[in-house]
Amino acid sequence: MCGIVAVSGVGGSTGACVEGLRRLQYRGYDSYGFAWARQGCIDRLRSLEALDDLVEILPEAPAALGHTRWATHGGVTLANCHPHLAEGDRFALAHNGIVENYQALQHEAEGVPADESDTRVIVRLLAAELSRGTDRGTAVRAVCGRLRGRNTVVVLFDDGELFGYRHGSPLVLGDGGEMVFLASDALSFAPRTRRCFLVPDKALVRIRGTGIAVSGEGNNAIALRWEDAGFEDDDFGKDGHPHFMIKEVMEQWRTIPQQATLTRDALDGLCS
Ligand code: GLU
């Protein structure tokens, strides 16, 4: 279960993005990466190490995108780490999911490396669509519409504009006043805001500065209804347990509703 965190605002986005991704480590990952846009250029840092070992302080930027990867296609290599950059570094892209028809889509291009991940196919398709002059939002929607399976995609453009398309795995918007978040889980931005909006399935999000627009499948505008995230900020930690998995097991007494718990009596009843 990968993690995505995108941040946009007046400044400090890279720091908030690193902090946000650290809070998504409970989802597990084999590698991670960040991309940030400032002064019309995208830079990035990717790593196969643990995120906790990151000591480098990323430069200030008004918009940033982070991703923790669980490899499904293509080896755990730096080349396959997200965010991926398009040729010419016009945009960086992070993806959560599996492109079930990626091989068919790969055949549309020549000279594709053997170990290419399914995500790189999305990057190539989007670059091709944009080079035909299609506007960004239409291009993201058109490309995502060609992917089979459940695929959530976030794209950061070199001028700091962000687009997110949700299909399957969640995307949550967070309103932090001077900073806006688009992430896999509201816990990632919990210390900064509890005001969140769960992006509906197959909706497209566009973020420019702190301005947000969400549109549905038919390009209809979707009104933002901010809600309280309804969690405690310390929900994200290991709560004294050595691993997140053990924490999850120990929390089952309150996360599984009582009537859904399988008791010995119920089991005997089922077996008799
Ligand atoms: N299928 C993509 C990959 O292997 C995304 C994996 C993920 O969701 O982390 O890179």
Has residue 186 got a pLDDT over 90? yes
Ligand 1: atom nearest CA of 69 is 9
* Residue identifier of the C-alpha nearest atom 10 of ligand 1: 71
Strands 84-85, 91-97: pairing is antiparallel
The Å distance, Cα 78 to ligand 1 centre, comes to 13
Mean pLDDT along residues 244-253: 74
Mean pLDDT along residues 201-208: 98
Q: In terms of Cα–Cα distance, which of 133, 213, 143, 141 is closest to 173?
A: 213
The Å distance, Cα 129 to ligand 1 centre, comes to 22
Q: Identify the pLDDT of residue 232.
A: 67
Residues having CB within 6 Å of any atom of ligand 1: 2, 69-74, 80, 95-98, 117-119
Locus of tokens 């080349």: 79
Locus of tokens 């795995």: 169
User: What pTM was computed for the model?
Assistant: 0.88
Inter-residue contact 32 to 78 (CB < 8 Å): no
Locus of tokens 């902090």: 19
Mean pLDDT along residues 153-162: 98
Element (H, E) at 126: helix 118-131
Kindly report the length of the chain.
Answer: 272
Task: Give the number of other CB atoms < 10 A from CB of residue 10.
Answer: 11
Q: Which one-letter amino acid corresponds to residue 73?
A: H
In DSSP terms, 180 is beta-bridged to 8, 175
pLDDT digits (tens, 9 = 90+) for 65-123: 999 999 999 999 999 999 999 999 999 999 999 999 998 888 776 666 666 789 999 99
The Å distance, Cα 94 to ligand 1 centre, comes to 9
Q: In terms of Cα–Cα distance, which of 101, 192, 194, 177 is closest to 143?
A: 101
Q: Which one-letter amino acid corresponds to residue 232?
A: E
The Å distance, Cα 142 to ligand 1 centre, comes to 20
The token pair that represents 58 in the structure block = 């990323």
The Å distance, Cα 217 to ligand 1 centre, comes to 24
What backbone torsions phi and psi does residue 41 show, to the nearest 5 degrees?
A: -125, 150
Quickly state the pLDDT bin for 267 (edges 50, 70, 90): low
Mutate which of 29, 70, 116 to test ligand 1's pocket (most atoms within 8 Å of Cβ)?
70
Mutate which of 76, 82, 100, 153 to test ligand 1's pocket (most atoms within 8 Å of Cβ)?
82
What backbone torsions phi and psi does residue 238 show, to the nearest 5 degrees?
A: -85, -5
